[in-house]
């Protein structure tokens, strides 16, 4: 029995030599998928974040990815004034191939940020994350060669194909480090690295024990500087990520226009763009108001796929809410935003 289309599907979606983890163009707005060491690093009592991405709608059924996360600091009155200990939870959903493959991720993370100076203006953190992963194939949404007749694909013809494991699950540990510091009186910089899939778990729907998930590592950094005395700032960030033969290099920035005169509760409009090398230009608009930071991007495809995509890639929305009761929080200046 011929299995050409089944083989092609598995090659495109499940082969660890070619596959990439779900990821976001607004990587800076999804801290717990970028680096576990970001857990707890923000100015406030707790942070709730969410992301939504829909990609390649112009070519086929869209690839949809979404996350929801919460993180907060613990033992604030026990550990040193210059330190932060954060914990967090995250859920992520990813659907590809018109729903043929659905993946869910449930993560718990923790990070300890150690102050390197008496004021806590410079910190070094290590973060750990454990993720329970479940992936499921809907066999009814796959097309097989033996379902093709003289008129083309005919879903009424039984495929006579059976996947050994239509649902798989495994535990996946990750680790990261992060430096964050204040430069002068009002500029900041951060630099981090993360390593995902430490144990390279087996991932196969066909009982192939040698089919192991490739590790993914990232190096990223960024910072912000004041532009004038009215509260405007420029934020920039860069990311390099590699997983097996797939790699990504993204860089860019956004200008923040302060719309009020309240340094402790600013209303800021952001306008900028990022560029993913040899793949997409990513214009960005955002708004920060009353603890919310909302961002919108659209991938403008410039890769070799542009004749089919007509330059259209994917829309992405991010929302971050930070609850702050103590307006004199010492980490307000130090928090990475992009």
Answer yes or no: are the C-beta atoms of 178 and 192 closer than 8 Å: yes
In sign, the C-alpha dihedral spanning 36, 40, 46, 51 is negative
Low-confidence ranges of the chain (pLDDT < 50): 1-18, 308-309
Distant-in-sequence, close-in-space partners of 207: CB < 8 Å, separation ≥ 6:
164, 165
Report the SS3 class of residue 75. coil
Q: What is the pLDDT of residue 227?
A: 94
- Per residue in 276-310, pLDDT (tens digit) is 998 899 999 999 999 999 999 999 888 655 554 45
> What's the pTM value of the predicted model, to 2 decimals?
0.87
CATH 2.40.160.40 fits 29-323, yes or no: yes
Q: What is the widest separation between alpha-carbon atoms in the chain?
A: 77
Domain positions in the chain are 29-323
Q: What is the pLDDT of residue 56?
A: 61
Q: What is the pLDDT of residue 2?
A: 37
At which residue do the structure tokens 């800076």 appear?
A: 28
C-alpha to C-alpha distance for 32 and 320, rounded to whole angstroms? 12
Q: What is the pLDDT of residue 140?
A: 73
Report the SS3 class of residue 270. strand
Q: What is the pLDDT of residue 60?
A: 60
């Amino acid at each position: 029995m011929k299995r050409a289309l089944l083989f092609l599907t598995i090659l495109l979606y499940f082969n660890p030599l070619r596959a990439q983890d779900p990821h976001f163009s607004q990587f800076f707005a999804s801290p717990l998928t970028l680096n576990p060491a970001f857990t707890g690093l923000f100015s406030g009592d707790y942070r709730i974040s969410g992301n939504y991405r829909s990609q390649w709608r112009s070519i086929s059924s869209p690839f949809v990815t979404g996350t929801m996360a919460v993180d907060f600091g613990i033992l604030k009155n026990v550990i040193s004034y210059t330190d932060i200990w954060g914990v967090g939870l995250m859920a992520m959903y990813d659907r590809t191939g018109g729903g043929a493959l659905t993946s869910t991720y449930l993560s718990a993370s923790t990070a300890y940020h150690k102050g390197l100076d008496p004021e806590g203006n410079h910190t070094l953190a290590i973060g750990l994350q454990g993720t329970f992963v479940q992936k499921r194939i809907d066999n009814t949404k796959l097309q097989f060669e033996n379902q093709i007749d003289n008129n083309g694909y005919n879903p009424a013809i039984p495929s006579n194909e059976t996947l050994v494991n239509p649902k798989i699950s495994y535990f996946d540990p990750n680790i990261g480090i992060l430096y964050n510091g204040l430069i002068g009186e009002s500029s900041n910089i951060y630099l981090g690295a993360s390593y995902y899939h430490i144990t390279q778990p087996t991932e196969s729907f066909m009982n192939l024990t040698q089919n192991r998930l490739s590790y993914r590592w990232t190096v990223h950094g960024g910072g912000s500087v004041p532009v004038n005395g009215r509260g405007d700032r420029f934020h920039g960030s860069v990311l390099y990520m590699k997983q097996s033969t797939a790699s990504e290099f993204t860089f860019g920035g956004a200008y923040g226009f302060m719309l009020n005169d309240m340094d402790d509760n600013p209303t800021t409009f952001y306008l900028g763009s990022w560029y993913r090398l040899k793949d997409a230009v990513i214009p960005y608009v955002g708004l920060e108001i009353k603890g919310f930071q909302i961002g919108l991007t659209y991938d403008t495809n410039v890769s070799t796929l542009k004749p089919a995509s007509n330059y259209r890639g994917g829309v992405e929305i991010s929302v971050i809410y930070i609850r702050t009761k103590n307006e004199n929080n010492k980490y307000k200046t130090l928090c990475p935003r992009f």
